[in-house]
Structure 1
Amino acid sequence: MQLVSGFLGGLVAFAATVAMLVLLAATARRVMGAPVGWVRAGVVSFAGLTAASAALTAGMRAAGWARADGTPTVEPWVALVAVALVFAWAFVLGLCVLLVLELLVPTGSLPSPWRAARGLRQGRRETRRYAQVVAIGVRHGLGGAFRGGARRADGSRLSRAETDRFALGLRDTLSDAGVTFVKFGQTLSTRRDLLPPAITDALATLQDDVPPAPWAQVEPAVVAALGRPVDEVFARFDPEPIASASVGQVHGARLLDGREVVVKVQRPGAREQVEVDLAILGRLARRLERDTAWGRAWGVVALADGFAASLREELDYTAEAENTFALRAALDVRTDDDGASQGPLVVVPDVVAGPSGRTLLVLERLDGVPAGRAATLLASSSAGDRAELAERLVRATLEQVLVAGTFHADLHPGNVLVMPGGRLGLLDMGSVGRLGEPERIALGALLMAVDGDDAVAATDALLELLEPPRGLDVRSLERAIGQLVLRLRSGAGTEAAFAALLRTVHDAGVAVPPQVAAAFRSFAALEGTARLLSPGFDLVAAARDQSRPLLSRLVTVDGLRRKATQQLLGFAPELERLPRRVTRIVGDLEQGRFTVTVRALADSDDRAFLTGLVQQVVMTLIAVAALVAAVVLLTSEGPVVGEGLRLYPLLGAGLAFVGTVLVVRVLVFAFRGPGRR
């Protein structure tokens, strides 16, 4: 019975302690006025509770207010006051500790204990991989690149030989680091607006040739993605892949209804490996931007973040399926200049929606050869037929960009299929760009300005298309754009001209939105593919000839009338009230009753800011007054209200408690700001 009674007593004491800790932690969070973490609030409350208990016991014994066994020798209310004061000040000291912790290590900046324990294994894996990548870079002569060296982004402090060695070392490092880093290098090779030509030329030679995973590893991934055995969906599934890439591979198959399809399946473990490599890439980018001048000039953190977002989207095949649907809708239905319906200029495979998912994509199989490997097939065609193929690809691209607003953003030769019968197909819709109507109109105006050799109009169109900064030197930009327009009209390489255009606007401080940059890169890649289809093909001349009818479809009289009608419908209620309002204003002016009322702080955010500021000023004044009064009272004696206890010091201790709590709240506001309360 005694054992049970002791157990129940201990259980009650434990529950009371937990309840007190929760109450103290909740009160601390409330008094602080900041989102303090429950874990740190609980730990600080427990430490304060323990310290207060020990201090109270020792202090009461030293003052003679308690015997050795802990029983008080003073009046109960005096002991109660002493207990309240000790625990109140322990609470205040706990608030100060929490304030310091919030300033040094804000809540949320460190993972929670359970998240830290869960991520410990992942952290060890990332650390080993990070050390491996850095060692590869050092082996290829990039040891100085990881330090705060004196290189600038344009390489002006390096000799040509040193720049070439750096470019080759970077290429070899990315090549040896694995497929994720290879793809990052390939992405960097398209950023000729940011990186020196020596770097982009070297990175353009990177190849992500990856041996295919064996069928024994791929089959479980296919079954898991389908949720059932392969033979319940496919009549035939070829174990040997048609193509292999870094994160997936493509197999031929036949559905149960007899349709020939291709199946793109994600490699087993690809997502996990990519996430580890992206974490390493982010760490390297942050280190380089922090420690090196060239890293800051290139904006490597932004480059790495953009690449990570793109690669994560590539890992989700539902996004590619949506892109395929959008491109197919944009290209399947089109009309000629007379409004008659025509077939698609290029073919986009249909998506088999049933078995497709995040890690598996089933597409209609197109019979053809990628343009990069179609030399034999093209050799049997006449020069006129080959030129017609190139013109068809250019027109299809212009229709996507200018009319539909949804376009294939990666038109390299491997993604353009040459099909029997003089047809073209598009593959790999993982990279698709989208432009709204204002951007399409501005891009069309730019093409018309280039056609008309009008540098001023081209500059105006670019400023509408891009994001100019304040204080831009428009005249200098006009002169630079004029030279680029001449290069484009003279038949200079489109890729080099677009790279020079992007570099010019970047040097002028003009920001290029990602989707606009994607359209420019699509045009630049289009030139190389078009010249594979038809050697010597003049992309600028073809775009100039074929863009005119498309631009006339983009801005038509009917379209302008329809847009004006829509806007007028929106204004109709206001237009109906306009005569009455004008009459009222004229009458008020005649009779001298016309007044203008301006409401100060009409915006709710402004009112909230001012209210919070006034509250903090009042709180600060009250805190200062309380602390000053507390000092005065603590140094006064006053009447005795109990054994060894005087009234004024007792009131001073209470006021000091209130003032200190208010000071903590004021400091929280000062250091965290009103928007983070």
Structure 2
Amino acid sequence: MVKNSLRRLNRYREIVSLFGKYGFGYIVEDVGLTHMLSMKAKIASDFKQGNMKSAGSRVRSLFEELGPTFVKMGQMLSIRSDLLPAEITIELEKLQDKVPPVPAGDIKDKILQELGFPVEELFHSFNEECVAAASIGQVHEAVLKDGSSVMVKVQRPGIKKNIFTDLQIMRDLSRLLEQRYDWARHYHLADMVDELAESIKKELDYLEEARNTETIGMQFDNHEKIKVPNIHWDYTTAYVLTMEKLTGIKLTELDRAGCSKECKRNIAELLAEAFLTQILKEGFFHGDPHPGNILYLPEKEQLGLIDFGQVGRLPARMRDDAANLMLGLMMEDTDLVVKALYRLAKVPHTVDENHFYDDIDRIRKKLSHMPLGELNLGYTIKEIFATAREHQIIIHKELTMMGKTLITFEGIIKDMDPAINIIELARPYGEALLLERYNPVNMGKRLWKDAEGLSSTLASMPGKVEELVGKTTDGHLKFEISLTEIKSILTKFDRMSNQISFSLTLLAFSIVVLGLIIGVTFGSQSILTGIPAMEIGFIIAFFMFLWILYSILKSGRF
């Protein structure tokens, strides 16, 4: 316990020191953590607010030096164009997740610990030199006893404990930022960190990745041209993942492999089919489709998809609205785009709807006037999300993942053939989706489902009304009040209490004056007659009255 606390404290100090090093010392100062800096770190820290133009590169350098947890967090934040300025997200997209590999001996020990047998007994052969090394795990080629070629992904020893420590510190920092900055409260920074933390934790669980792989594989069970590797469950745990090896060409090496223009066009169409099926039809899609995770298998002319540590999920209703958003852009229908956005986001009551509509219409018109070869659906959606941010509209995180996926796979297609247009490739799927949606049978099913939900709501309404009336009668009715409303209420209470205090003080002063008058009129001789007690008491009371009056007026709440 003591050891863990010391490790956490030392890591806290390291993080705070690096914030100062990269020009974010003013944040450390604002949230009250300067006491955690050593004298050397205080001297090295920059406590002045830096130039926003360089903020992006400084944030990227900071996250890279802070290590795996912050790199992962930065990569996930890079898709949040609805929350962060472009100069930040562009730099976060450049974050590198490459680290020196773990020694082969440590990897073998981890496999023994997880699978219960040494590598020599589990595999016919095991390549000690890793194929890829990242901050969380690394991949080795191997051959099973039955001759199957596999890829074995092994989590770095001790990495989970380090990441969990960083996540705890991130939560602390996010709450401190919410206490200090309005923007952090508005965007619910602590909740966002919790959501990102959950995503990182899922990446640490290789059983979760194995299940994701199987789910994506089932989407293409009957598709001969799209291949997802099979999972070898007997060789898989939360820390070791063993899957079928796909032998193919990376999409960045197609020219070197002699792939023709027609071949590239076929790959692009398969890629569009794969991702539009996942996003619009299944609502469960690859969240990190960079070129290294997509292979072309020339022997069977297949498209291979690998590495499902990050996935995106769109619930049925959100999937329909996301489809409406894309269809609205394809059909140049601003009304459809705006209506879809309102259902896909948290829209504040203060939003200027006409202004927002005009901004979206401007983006839509720009898209319709672009030459065919320059049309870019992914970046158009990203621009729409950024516009929503300017209007303080918060897009649901599932949609930002979809936007990032569209941008990535559209970029891959453009690299293969700049003349290929994703909107033209997507149009047949959009039209098929429209036909399916407005099919009388499907419409009837949706109406019936909505009617069931409405009837359930209506049936429960009398009970809800009775409960509301009961709580009101018993005095147990509760109201939700925002922080700004609480502040306004407290200010009014202050004004009322100050006015009451002033009235009571004035009354007391009046009584003192009255007592003085009576004392002078009906006073009698005593030992204290020679002492001007009444005059002294009057002076003291008068100055106390002036002091209370000054304090109330100074507060500005009278």
Instruction: Provide the C-alpha distance between the structure 2 equivalents of 1:599 and 1:550, rounded to a whole number of angstroms.
Output: 40
Matched with 1:511 is 394
The percent identity for this pair of structures is 29
- Greater CA drift, 313-322 or 185-194: 185-194
Q: Of 228, 236, 240, which aligns to 1:356?
A: 236
TM-score, reference length from structure 1: 0.61
Contact 2:23-2:50 within 8 A present in 1 as well: no
Q: Does 1:398 align with 2:276?
A: yes
Q: Which has the higher contact order (CA 8 A, sep 6+)?
A: 1
2:325 maps to a residue whose letter is L
Q: Deviations over 1:222-270 (max 9, x none)?
A: 1111122333432222211111111111111112221111111111111
Matched with 2:310 is 431
Task: Flag the 1:198–1:471 CA change in 2: closer, same or farther, 3 A.
Answer: closer
1:139 maps to a residue whose letter is K
Matched with 1:668 is none
Task: Flag the 1:471–1:138 CA change in 2: closer, same or farther, 3 A.
Answer: closer
Matches within 5 A, 1:189-338: 189-292=78-181, 295-296=184-185, 299-333=188-222
Deviation, structure 1 residue 359: 0.9
Deviation, structure 1 residue 143: 1.7
Matches within 5 A, 1:406-445: 406-421=284-299, 422-445=301-324
Instruction: Provide the C-alpha distance between the structure 1 equivalents of 2:317 and 2:60, rounded to a whole number of angstroms.
Output: 39
Partner of 2:131: helix, strand, or coil?
strand
Instruction: Provide the C-alpha distance between the structure 1 equivalents of 2:452 and 2:21, rounded to a whole number of angstroms.
Output: 68
Deviation, structure 1 residue 543: 1.9
Q: Of 129, 135, 147, which aligns to 2:17?
A: 135
Matched with 1:521 is 404
Contact 2:224-2:302 within 8 A present in 1 as well: no
Contact 2:291-2:412 within 8 A present in 1 as well: yes
Instruction: Provide the C-alpha distance between the structure 1 equivalents of 2:305 and 2:473, rounded to a whole number of angstroms.
Output: 58
Partner of 1:531: helix, strand, or coil?
helix
Matched with 2:418 is 535
Q: Of 350, 353, 368, which aligns to 2:248?
A: 368
Matched with 1:62 is none
Task: Flag the 1:563–1:492 CA change in 2: closer, same or farther, 3 A.
Answer: closer
Give the CA RMSD over aligned residues. Answer: 3.1
Partner of 1:239: helix, strand, or coil?
coil
Instruction: Provide the C-alpha distance between the structure 1 equivalents of 2:254 and 2:182, rounded to a whole number of angstroms.
Output: 44
Deviation, structure 1 residue 140: 2.4
Gaps of at least 5 residues in structure 2 are 32-48, 457-461, 478-558
Matched with 2:382 is 499
Matches within 5 A, 1:117-156: 118=1, 120-148=2-30
Matches within 5 A, 1:429-508: 429-470=308-349, 472-489=351-368, 490=370, 491-508=374-391
Partner of 1:241: helix, strand, or coil?
coil
Instruction: Provide the C-alpha distance between the structure 2 equivalents of 1:612 and 1:572, rounded to a whole number of angstroms.
Output: 30
Structure number with larger C-alpha Rg: 1
Q: Deviations over 1:73-109 (max 9, x none)?
A: xxxxxxxxxxxxxxxxxxxxxxxxxxxxxxxxxxxxx
Contact 2:375-2:421 within 8 A present in 1 as well: no
1:226 maps to a residue whose letter is L
Deviation, structure 1 residue 358: 0.9
Q: Deviations over 1:551-570 (max 9, x none)?
A: 43455334334556778899
Contact 2:318-2:344 within 8 A present in 1 as well: yes
Contact 1:248-1:264 within 8 A present in 2 as well: yes
Deviation, structure 1 residue 402: 1.4
Deviation, structure 1 residue 186: 1.9
TM-score, reference length from structure 2: 0.74
Deviation, structure 1 residue 123: 1.6
Deviation, structure 1 residue 609: 7.7
Q: Deviations over 1:454-497 (max 9, x none)?
A: 11122122223334344543332222221222233324443432
Task: Flag the 1:346–1:485 CA change in 2: closer, same or farther, 3 A.
Answer: farther
Instruction: Provide the C-alpha distance between the structure 2 equivalents of 1:296 and 1:567, rounded to a whole number of angstroms.
Output: 35
1:366 maps to a residue whose letter is L
Gaps of at least 5 residues in structure 1 are 1-117, 150-159, 334-342, 574-597, 615-677
Partner of 1:376: helix, strand, or coil?
coil
Deviation, structure 1 residue 289: 3.4
Deviation, structure 1 residue 611: 4.9
Matched with 1:64 is none
Task: Flag the 1:164–1:228 CA change in 2: closer, same or farther, 3 A.
Answer: same
- Greater CA drift, 310-319 or 450-459: 450-459
2:63 maps to a residue whose letter is L
Partner of 2:347: helix, strand, or coil?
coil
Deviation, structure 1 residue 599: 8.4
1:210 maps to a residue whose letter is V
1:402 maps to a residue whose letter is L
Q: Deviations over 1:268-315 (max 9, x none)?
A: 111111111212222333333333466556654333222211110100
Contact 1:416-1:427 within 8 A present in 2 as well: yes
Instruction: Provide the C-alpha distance between the structure 1 equivalents of 2:464 and 2:155, rounded to a whole number of angstroms.
Output: 59
Deviation, structure 1 residue 529: 1.7
Instruction: Provide the C-alpha distance between the structure 1 equivalents of 2:55 and 2:419, rounded to a whole number of angstroms.
Output: 34
Contact 1:192-1:499 within 8 A present in 2 as well: yes
Contact 1:146-1:288 within 8 A present in 2 as well: no
Q: How many corresponding residue pairs?
A: 451
2:21 maps to a residue whose letter is R
Matched with 1:180 is 69
1:173 maps to a residue whose letter is L
